[in-house]
Structure 1
């Protein structure tokens, strides 16, 4: 799967969000001009919910962002993929967070390689899957073994670096958190509520340090500099500008994660400026 099939913009949402289960959601996302819906919160290996969503639309791509390789059996995941049998499904997989693995932990890179080997054996095509990738080694693995990369909690600078590593062919589809709010105090409060749990996660912290952020930026709920770099807030034009920066840096597709409380209403406001 490539950027043409996904479109330039998608929506990223936790798979547990109630509004995704409304019967008109998929149709409305298509009408608003979005090309894909990314499902977070570690969809299980049975992939029943992505299958249900695909059945509600004949156009929208559904992607997982991501199936966690520590939690979802690769054999069951491959069997679910074959059952779905849709060319509008992109299987995003990733290594999640080492602190949540416990005694089962092995090097994430090795775990990813083994998982992809099983997906190969299970009939999941290279172009129908993507990797959550932040660092150079996993980005190269994404380019070699999948359609491309789905980086999470990144900046346009990271997008530029990722494109350089991936080369010109593979898909690059970063996630971008947005807050449609012009009051800095309100916007940053909303942003920090979502960012907070990630600040202590080693894989994200290491990636931000590679981008030039310091331990001081990661302390106390995150510095304004870090918050503003990772989560765009402001009016429609401010959000449009950040999305454009990702595209200019080499992104094929940007998956928007809206942090405002009323997400469907926010997407309706944003779509005319973005799509």
Structure 2
């Protein structure tokens, strides 16, 4: 398994420049997470690795419906040959609401892993976006581990119980560095609201005890506070640390406002 470090940073797959990668490495962040379904040829990975010395780059996630496994495997081998064990291939099934053709995601994930096996992509160099128990178990069986998104520390504890020890658990959490709660929620709410039409996230949040009142758009204050760490820097670090206490190996920060300043402010506190 790649050395992800304790904390990483999530952006859309075109969101990092080489200069960003260098700065985040110097600040102590261990992994750059490239989201929003990067294409199968993975063109953004190598420039970031070229610009840095040790930081890991990971996908969060390659969408199995839009990125053929054979082509993704070729990209993996191209990258890994140049930068051994500095790239983690995160894959996932996306959302039925966004796919023109959609079949049972579990079966499709199994087939995708079968193809990656045939193409020689090592189990320890890939991870799976997973929320519910069945897909979490698949992550443990067929990959280095799980990449939950839009979750709470309570979910992290449940996921660790399913995965068992020694399996990667890299958990995403959103951040707004703002001590005014009303303003912080106003910043966070549009991002959270965008997920409330996606059934896999809504179903997972229901399993965590959220109700129709919480999940009706634009989302309750209770929901926003659970999914987005906000307040001063110490409060945010305390919230993120709850994931580590619950069993996460690595925490992925998605900063929703003033990203560069926030990451610089949090870095020395996260390093303690």
Shorter-chain TM band: over 0.9
* CA RMSD, 1 decimal: 0.9
Which stretches of structure 1, 4 residues or longer, exceed 3 Å deviation after superposition? Answer: none
Kindly indicate whether the alpha-carbon contact (under 8 Å) linking 2:189 and 2:224 is maintained by their aligned counterparts in 1.
Answer: yes
Aligned match for 2:131, one of 118, 130, 134: 134
State the alpha-carbon separation in 2 of the partners of residues 165 and 32 from structure 1. Answer: 33
State the alpha-carbon separation in 2 of the partners of residues 169 and 217 from structure 1. Answer: 34
**What is the correspondence of 1:151-166 to structure 2 with a 5 Å cutoff?**
151-166=148-163
Report the alpha carbon displacement of residue 175 of structure 1 after superposing the two structures with TM.
0.4
Q: Which residue of 2 aligns with 1:48?
A: 43
Q: Which residue of 2 aligns with 1:90?
A: 88
The runs of 5 or more residues in structure 1 that have no matched partner are none
Report the alpha carbon displacement of residue 24 of structure 1 after superposing the two structures with TM.
2.2
| Structure 2 length-normalised TM | 0.96
| Structure 1 length-normalised TM | 0.95
User: Could you report, residue by residue, the CA deviation over 1:147-175 in whole angstroms, capped at 9, with x for unpaired residues?
Assistant: 00010000000000000000001100000
SS at match of 2:33: strand
Aligned match for 2:32, one of 25, 37, 46: 37
State the alpha-carbon separation in 2 of the partners of residues 270 and 173 from structure 1. Answer: 19
State the alpha-carbon separation in 1 of the partners of residues 206 and 174 from structure 2. Answer: 19
Report the alpha carbon displacement of residue 16 of structure 1 after superposing the two structures with TM.
2.7
User: Could you report, residue by residue, the CA deviation over 1:74-127 in whole angstroms, capped at 9, with x for unpaired residues?
Assistant: 11000010111131000000001111112x211010111111111111111000
Kindly indicate whether the alpha-carbon contact (under 8 Å) linking 2:229 and 2:240 is maintained by their aligned counterparts in 1.
Answer: no
Q: Which residue of 1 aligns with 2:237?
A: 240
Report the alpha carbon displacement of residue 28 of structure 1 after superposing the two structures with TM.
1.1
Q: Which residue of 1 aligns with 2:188?
A: 191
State the alpha-carbon separation in 1 of the partners of residues 197 and 85 from structure 2. Answer: 37
Q: Which residue of 2 aligns with 1:143?
A: 140
The reply to whether residue 274 of structure 1 matches residue 244 of structure 2 is: no
Kindly indicate whether the alpha-carbon contact (under 8 Å) linking 2:46 and 2:79 is maintained by their aligned counterparts in 1.
Answer: yes
